[in-house]
């Protein structure tokens, strides 16, 4: 009887170490996220002509090209450009996905246009949730600037607003931001703080959306400019041009006849750096950075 019990215990220990199938599990958190084979939903936003802000060159073309690429390849493609990309229209479209998407879906949000930052108040609390020093402090957060936005923070789409909407979606979400630099006018369209500046004040950046499980791709690093390069034959933002190019097939590095998000980013990033050298795209990975984007024919 004692020998039988010993054999049973030994067998259970072996199963817990090496389950049936011969694969040692390292825990759910260490496993790669399962890639969805369903076609994504796509929302492409591009604003070149603003109601109040300076005009830009490539965002309209960027969004149209991004949407056109996914036409017939996505479950749904929505493109909001220029005067159609008001704050109300953008937020209404985002809210509409709450009743449409499921946990099996993938939503890609693409934005090209002006961006900035807002100085807002935040409440500083002690551990017992009472106000520390009895006053508010300043905090900065990045914003997307819709067509009808002015210089007041209420007219922008802030990082906080975006995260509040996206957290209610059951789907996997990818956010791609490729601002455009106007060489003629000299405007940098996404204000980016250096790490030193970030350390001085509490700051919410778009990359912080990855903390909620969303994968965020930004076409340039902090304190860098995102360029277009029309004089070399590119009509789009450099990163957007190469990201789309990679989705068409060249990014399929493992030759499995599909393009996953990290493959498309790595291809677009490498080609961007090779092209201009001073622009370094970044990816901040969420829960499913390896999700399938395109199934190749």
User: Is the residue at 34 inside a domain?
Assistant: no
User: Is the residue at 91 inside a domain?
Assistant: yes
Chain-centroid distance, C-alpha 188? 20
d(CA 27, CA 31): 7
* Structure confidence by residue, pLDDT tens digits, 195-218: 444 444 445 678 788 889 999 999
User: Is the residue at 126 inside a domain?
Assistant: yes
CATH number at residue 58: 3.40.50.1460
pLDDT score of 66: 98
CA angle 20, 26, 27 (to 5 degrees): 100
Structural domain containing residue 198: 40-295
User: Is the residue at 27 inside a domain?
Assistant: no
Closest CA to 141 of 111, 165, 121, 123: 121
User: Is the residue at 252 inside a domain?
Assistant: yes
* Structure confidence by residue, pLDDT tens digits, 52-98: 988 888 899 999 999 999 999 999 999 999 999 999 999 999 999 99
Q: Name the token pair of 71.
A: 């036409």
Q: How many distinct structural domains can be found in the chain?
A: 1
pLDDT score of 239: 94
Averaged pLDDT score across all residues of the chain = 78
Choose the weakest-confidence range: 22-36, 118-132, 227-241, 269-283.
22-36
User: Is the residue at 208 inside a domain?
Assistant: yes
Q: What is the pTM of this model?
A: 0.80
d(CA 264, CA 90): 25
C-alpha dihedral (176, 182, 187, 192), degrees to nearest 10: 30
If residue 203 lies in a helix (H) or strand (E), which one and from where to where?
strand 203-204
User: Is the residue at 233 inside a domain?
Assistant: yes
């Amino acid at each position: 009887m004692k020998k039988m019990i010993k054999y049973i215990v030994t067998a259970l220990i072996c199963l817990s170490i090496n389950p049936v199938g011969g694969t040692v599990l390292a825990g759910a958190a260490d496993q790669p996220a399962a890639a969805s084979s369903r076609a994504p939903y796509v929302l492409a936003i591009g604003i070149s002509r603003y109601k109040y802000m300076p005009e830009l060159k490539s965002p309209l073309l960027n969004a149209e090209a991004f949407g056109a690429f996914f036409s017939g390849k996505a479950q749904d493609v929505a493109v909001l450009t220029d005067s159609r990309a008001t704050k109300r229209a953008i937020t209404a479209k985002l809210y509409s996905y709450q009743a449409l998407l499921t946990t099996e879906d993938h939503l890609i949000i693409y934005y090209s246009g002006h961006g900035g930052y807002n100085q807002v108040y935040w409440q500083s609390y002690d551990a017992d949730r009472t106000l520390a020093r009895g006053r508010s402090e300043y905090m900065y957060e990045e914003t997307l600037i819709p067509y009808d936005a002015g210089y007041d923070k209420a007219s922008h789409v802030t990082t906080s607003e975006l995260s509040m909407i996206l957290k209610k979606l059951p789907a996997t979400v990818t956010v791609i931001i490729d601002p455009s630099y106007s060489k003629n006018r000299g405007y940098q369209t996404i204000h980016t703080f250096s790490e030193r500046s970030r350390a001085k004040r509490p700051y919410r950046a778009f990359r912080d959306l990855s903390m909620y499980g969303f994968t965020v791709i930004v076409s340039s690093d902090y304190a860098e400019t995102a360029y277009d390069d029309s004089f070399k034959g590119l009509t789009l933002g450099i990163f957007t041009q190469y990201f789309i190019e990679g989705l068409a097939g060249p990014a399929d590095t493992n030759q499995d006849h599909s393009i996953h998000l990290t493959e498309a980013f790595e291809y677009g990033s490498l080609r961007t750096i090779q092209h201009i050298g001073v622009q370094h795209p970044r990816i901040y990975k969420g829960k499913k950075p390896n999700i399938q984007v395109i199934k190749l024919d």
